[in-house]
Amino acid sequence: MSATAPTPNPSATEAPQPGAEVLLRALKDQGVEVIFGYPGGAVLPIYDAIFKQNAIRHILVRHEQAAVHAAEGYARSTGRVGVVLVTSGPGATNAVTGLVDALMDSIPVVCLTGQVPTHLIGNDAFQEADTTGITRPATKHNYLVKRPQDLARTVHEAFYVAKSGRPGPVLIDLPKDILIGPAPYAPPPEAPHRSYRPRREPDPASIARAVTMLKAAKRPVVYAGGGVINAGPEAAAALTDFVRRAGIPITNTLMGLGSFPASDPLFLGMLGMHGTVEANLAMHGCDVMLAVGARFDDRVTGRLDAFSPGSRKIHIDIDPSSINKNVPVDLAIVADAGQALAALNAAWLADEARQDRAALGAWWQKIEAWRATKCLAYGQARGEGALIKPQYAIERLRDLAAASGRECFFTTEVGQHQMWAAQFLRFDRPNHWMTSGGLGTMGYGLPAAMGVQIAHPDALVVDVAGEASILMNIQELGTLAQYRLPVKVFILNNEYMGMVRQWQELLHGGRYAESYSAALPDFVRLAESFHGAGMRVTEVDRLDDAIRAMIASDKAFILDVAVDPAENCFPMIPSGAAHDQMILGPGKQEAAPGVSDEGLALV
């Protein structure tokens, strides 16, 4: 047992310990079991304290950005707060992309950064950066601890802020002298926070109004996002209950996939830029919309003035600033998604009004007609020389992963492969799908998968990747090797930055500026050089065997799937177009709507 093992009865009057020990004790009190980090001069005292204990495990990443994504993967697959530890200066600046990613996707992360000693702050000291200044707009909140007596309190507060209300990343900047010098310990406070107390309970009158609106609706739709996932599995269960009881169609955002079972016929698929025809047209034509934990992002709404023009909108969100930000709504309910949905279920049962079943039936008929367009259909040729369609590869991955009987988690990088994964992997449960939604961070998937695998050592964790994205954090193969994490990397290799190429084809006259993936590595030998295994598959008929081999492998594994380089991701709502102006792809539609200059300026 180490000298720093937690004492059974901590008394308030015990002797002060070094700051680094106090920090670790506060982390333990917050239930932290894993830290993703990378050492450096300013954080050496923390590493020394970590060395002397066994309660908290440290995972050494190969780049600080990856530490944050790994913590995100850990947080999203467990519902807990992910913890990151990096050094001052470049350690902190490297973490910034991960922090903004967590901010955009509302993922609870606490990031500890080293800082030069307080007396050197502002002197341009070695590895000094104005970390709190740089990360102020990159975090939900951040702190610079300048006095030892603030240390323990700040750590507890950071965890509270990271997971309360709309979750997000919180950074604590820790000068080296604070870590070395003595600091008093303080347990987590029992009093409520002095200023930050987000509202969680819905207003009952608003819930009652929502029930009235939804029961009277002739063409209702539910639009559920990542807020439902963040509110915990009970929220997803309450959502599923509600939608099934009401028998109304539901669509998910990219972040919300898994909040409602994709295998249920009430599910219309994902909506938005690469959403299904039935989801987008249902949103366009509905008369009452229930938005839960979704933020009317531009990728979802398309052209704002043409977004769901005839509907009355109900918006449940824990963040009041998400309401009426892009789209004005008729009924705002500020609350935790789980609590609001539970209240909605109770009020629905207590209310005696009946739904307009005839109108609902007609609405479903319309939706089924849209669904019959089979907008995700693609043609997979067979035989010698037939190219593997990326959609087919994802479908085979989905089915063979399910057939393995193991618990499966999927992460992605960013681009076409991400959209195909969102369209074709079907999630029946929350917390099994991790993708960079808001920031769209290439390089997210591999480290996120690493974090997921740490939290779920026996699960099958697959990073669906593109050959371009995967190179952005490829160094993490080293981390996988060190901790023997059997993460699978499923590369849809079309030798292009596929989404960039698609936009260049559709919007920039087919001038493929800098989007060709030249000089690619041999991914199989790359995996092997990092003590993993790999395989490349180019023929349709060998795909299944290759996927089975990947799943069966007990090592980190790269499966390099050569797919049709010309395939595009459809349906697509071009930037600046409306939900009813989708491009359906070759052979499915004659005229694509023109993209306006205004639309061209949107990304």
CB 480 to another protein: min, Å: 36
Out of 123, 149, 324, 529, the residue judged to bind another protein by CB under 8 A: 324
By beta-carbon proximity to another protein, the closer residue of 330 and 541 is 330
Contact between 259 and 427 under an 8 Å Cβ cutoff? The reply is: no
Query: Is residue 589 involved in binding another protein (CB under 8 A)?
Result: no
Give the separation between CA 294 and CA 168, rounded to whole angstroms.
Answer: 15
- Alpha-carbon distance 452 to 29, whole Å? 23
To another protein, the closest distance from the beta carbon of 320 in angstroms equals 5
Q: Which stretch binds another protein (CB under 8 A): 9-17, 323-331, 343-351, 561-569?
A: 323-331
Residue placing its CB nearer to another protein in the complex, 218 or 325: 325
Touching another protein, residues 144-183 (CB under 8 A):
144, 146, 161, 165-166
Please state, in angstroms and rounded to a whole number, the distance separating the CA atoms of residues 149 and 179: 12
Phi, psi of 594 (to 5 degrees): -70, 145
Which one of 195, 265, 365, 601 is in contact with another protein (CB under 8 A)? 195
Neighbours of 312 (CB within 10 A): 16
Nearer Cβ to another protein (322/581): 322
Q: Residue 106 CB, nearest distance to another protein (Å)?
A: 12
Restricting to residues 266-305, name those near another protein by CB under 8 A.
Answer: 304-305
Using CB under 8 A, pick the residue from 203, 241, 319, 495 that binds another protein: 319
- Relative orientation angle of helices 540-552 and 390-403, to the nearest 10 degrees: 40
Q: Does 122 bind another protein (CB under 8 A)?
A: no
Of these, 137, 187, 204, 594, which contacts another protein (CB under 8 A)?
A: 137
Q: Would you name the residues annotated as active-site residues?
A: 64, 126-127, 176, 499
| Least spacing, CB of residue 137 vs another protein, in Å | 5
Q: Please report whether residue 187 would count as binding another protein according to CB under 8 A.
A: no
CB 58 within 8 A of CB 37: yes
Question: What number of chain residues touch another protein (CB under 8 A)?
Answer: 28
> Which listed residue (85, 221, 329, 421) binds another protein by CB under 8 A?
329
CA–CA distance, 445 with 250 (Å, rounded to integer):
27
Neighbours of 597 (CB within 10 A): 7
Considering only 122, 328, 361, 457, the residue that binds another protein (CB under 8 A) is 328
Half-sphere exposure of 442 (CA within 13 A, CB side): 15
Question: Quick check: 303 and 599 in contact, CB under 8 A?
Answer: yes
Cis peptide before 571 (omega within 30 of 0): yes
Residue nearer to another protein on the CB measure, 69 or 166: 166
Tokens of 222: 């539910």
Nearer to another protein, 325 or 588 (CB): 325
Measure the CA–CA gap between 57 and 38, rounded to whole angstroms.
13
- 3-class SS at 96? helix
**Piece of the chain touching another protein by CB under 8 A; list 47-55, 195-203, 241-249, 545-553:** 195-203
Given 2, 5, 57, 136, the residue binding another protein (CB under 8 A): 136
Alpha helices in 130-288 (DSSP H): 131-135, 151-163, 176-180, 204-216, 226-230, 233-246, 277-285
Neighbours of 227 (CB within 10 A): 29
Compute the distance between CA of residue 142 and CA of residue 495 in angstroms, rounded to an integer. 41
Which residue from 9, 11, 321, 365 is in contact with another protein, where contact means CB under 8 A?
Answer: 321
In 3D space, the residue among 234, 242, 247 whose CA is nearest the CA of residue 339 turns out to be 234
Q: How many helices (H) and strands (E) does the chain have?
A: 22, 20
Task: Tell me: does residue 184 bind another protein (CB under 8 A).
Answer: no
From 93, 132, 212, 380, residue interacting with another protein (rule: CB under 8 A): 132
Sole window of 27-35, 120-128, 190-198, 487-495 interacting with another protein (rule: CB under 8 A): 190-198
Q: Which of 266, 252, 261 has its CA nearest to residue 430?
A: 261
323 binds another protein (CB under 8 A): yes
CA 339 – CA 359 distance, rounded (Å)? 29
Point out which span in 55-63, 136-144, 452-460, 506-514 binds another protein (CB under 8 A): 136-144
Which residues of the chain form contacts with another protein (CB under 8 A)?
132-133, 136-137, 140-142, 144, 146, 161, 165-166, 194-196, 198, 304-305, 319-321, 323-325, 327-330
